[in-house]
């Protein structure tokens, strides 16, 4: 009765599909849309998490499935995991949090991140691990009012069985300069664009520690790779990467274009 009265007095629609919301919730997304956000299926690279389309990837000298890039070049992180593909409803939910400040979305995204991290918990150091959100530049942080990666990370840590051994350090990494859009850049240009953008804020606390680097989306891997390099050079023994979503190579270019447009519109709305 209470839910029916709420729906009558305060009608609202799902922000993703437009269907009427009949349940009382701080998150304006219907249950059907949330249920449709599924984990990545099929074979993935055991290092970077990229989807594997070739059967040849499943039998190589490493003894585990690896994509072509991870075969050719060892990444600076031990392993990257993600919950789902950065498309459809999951993509829209992440954008609701980032560009429309719908903070209750962080709780759902945090649960997804916890699900992504769970399979690698057993590989974490017994002494504990530092959870480091990928930082925003100070200007973007002031504009947005929060770092979405930190919000999501804090929710995930509370839900994980090993949460007592995980501690969130939002200032361990600092973003020293703003970077241009990665859209249209080659792999080399993307690395140059990110070079020098990050610095460690507390090198003493980092010495000899394992790090779980957290971000909302793994798009090309350039950002998390640069963060992992900086952390390892400053004293981290090993870096893991966990994101809520990741783009597959065939989706990466369109994802960058659409997110750039969303970011420009959000910035214009706050001017």
Structural domains in the chain, sorted by start: 40-74 (no CATH), 76-270 (3.40.50.2020)
Cα-to-chain-centroid distance, residue 164: 22
Q: Which residues pair with residue 239 across a beta bridge?
A: 211
Global pTM? 0.85
pLDDT value at 248 more than 90: no
Using one digit for the tens of pLDDT, what is the confidence trace for 199-235?
Answer: 999 999 999 999 999 999 998 899 999 999 999 999 9
Query: Checking DSSP bridges between strand 173-175 and strand 166-168, what pairing results, if any?
Result: unpaired
Q: How many C-beta atoms lie closer than 10 Å to residue 85's C-beta?
A: 20
Q: CA-CA distance, 34 to 52, in Å (whole number)?
A: 26
Give the pLDDT mean for 45-51. Answer: 92
- Closest by alpha carbon to 3, among 22, 26, 30? 22
């Amino acid at each position: 009765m209470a839910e029916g009265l709420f729906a009558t007095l305060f009608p609202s629609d799902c922000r993703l599909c437009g269907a009427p919301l009949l349940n009382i919730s701080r998150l304006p997304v219907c249950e059907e849309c949330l249920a449709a956000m599924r984990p990545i299926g099929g074979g993935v690279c055991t290092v970077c998490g990229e989807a594997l389309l070739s059967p040849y990837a499943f039998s190589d000298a490493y003894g585990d499935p690896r994509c072509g890039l991870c075969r050719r070049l060892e990444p600076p992180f031990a392993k990257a995991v993600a919950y789902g593909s950065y498309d459809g409803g999951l993509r829209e939910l992440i954008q609701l949090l980032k560009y429309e400040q719908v903070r209750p979305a962080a709780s759902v995204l945090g649960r997804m991140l916890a699900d992504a991290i769970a399979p690698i918990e057993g590989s974490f150091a017994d002494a504990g691990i530092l959870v480091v959100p990928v930082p925003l530049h100070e200007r973007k942080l002031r504009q947005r009012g929060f770092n979405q990666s930190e919000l999501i990370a804090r929710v995930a840590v509370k839900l994980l069985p090993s949460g007592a051994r995980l501690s969130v350090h939002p200032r361990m990494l600092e973003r020293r300069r703003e970077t241009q859009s990665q859209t249209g850049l080659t792999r080399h240009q993307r690395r140059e664009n990110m070079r020098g953008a990050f610095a460690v804020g507390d090198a003493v606390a980092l010495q000899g520690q394992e790090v779980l680097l957290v971000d909302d989306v793994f798009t090309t891997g350039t950002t998390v790779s640069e963060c992992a390099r900086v952390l390892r050079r400053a004293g981290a023994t090993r870096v893991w990467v966990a994101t809520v979503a990741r783009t597959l190579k065939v989706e990466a270019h369109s994802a960058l274009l659409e997110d750039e447009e969303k970011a420009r519109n959000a910035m214009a709305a706050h001017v």
